[in-house]
Amino acid sequence: MHDTVRDWIRDARHIAVLTGAGMSAESGVPTFRDAQTGLWARFDPQDLATEAAYRADPQRVWDWYLYRRGLIGQVQANAGHLALADFSRRHPGRLTLITQNVDGLHQRAGQTGTLALHGNIADDSWLDAPRQCCQPGSIEDGHPPRCPVCGNLRRPAVVWFGEHLPPAALEAAEQAAKRCDLMLVVGTSGEVYPAAGLVFTAHQAGARVVMINPAATPLDGLAELCLRETAAVCLPALLA
């Protein structure tokens, strides 16, 4: 099956790759719920990753994200991340990388133009629409940092429950799904929308879909092939 997919990769004019949490599993990135240990074990992540939770207790939510940033900062991109980045360097313009992950490992591996549908946990943004006084160079340190003039809070630049995906990234991802001849779906559960809907878009547009995941997913019925392997094992073999 590897040889078949390698042929499809060789012949494809444009490849879209959609990655989920399983992409980073071999790097040791804790999943959303795996991060709930020690001090944070008594909290439900869905009670922390919302705008309402942040407004109710900004310090608690900010410190939880600092903790998660610390966990992610200790891991490295794995062979799967590196294989994708290397392929993109060798074949500029042929691959669009779309990720549901906020860990930034694709970017750290050297993947340029990554479409991070759920943001990046290492980045901050303003909680409320920034005013003229909200300048990056004059942020007041704290838990969380804030504008020293109006008090506007900084927040993690990730998509919380109940929020829309970044419009520009989502539009670019949808366009990539419509124009690709091959979509590799790597380590995603297939249960989080609208990201999972990109697989339907690619399939309906006539692209071949290949699932790369040790476990079955609800999207497997759309795939021409399902490779029951992990990202770090499968992708280097396919993209070398």
The set of catalytic residues is 118
Do the Cβ atoms of 64 and 43 come closer than 8 Å? yes
In angstroms, the CA 114 to CA 106 distance is 7
DSSP bridge partners of 63: none
CA gyration radius, the chain: 19
19 in helix, strand or coil? strand
- 238 CB burial (10 A radius; 0-12, 13-18, 19+): buried
In angstroms, the CA 18 to CA 1 distance is 20
Other C-beta atoms closer than 10 Å to the C-beta of 13 total: 10
Select from 141, 134, 79, 77 the least CA-distant residue to 109: 77
Angle between helices 231-239 and 2-11 (to 10 degrees): 60
- DSSP state string for 189-212: -S-STTTTHHHHHHHHTT-EEEEE
DSSP bridge partners of 185: 18, 211
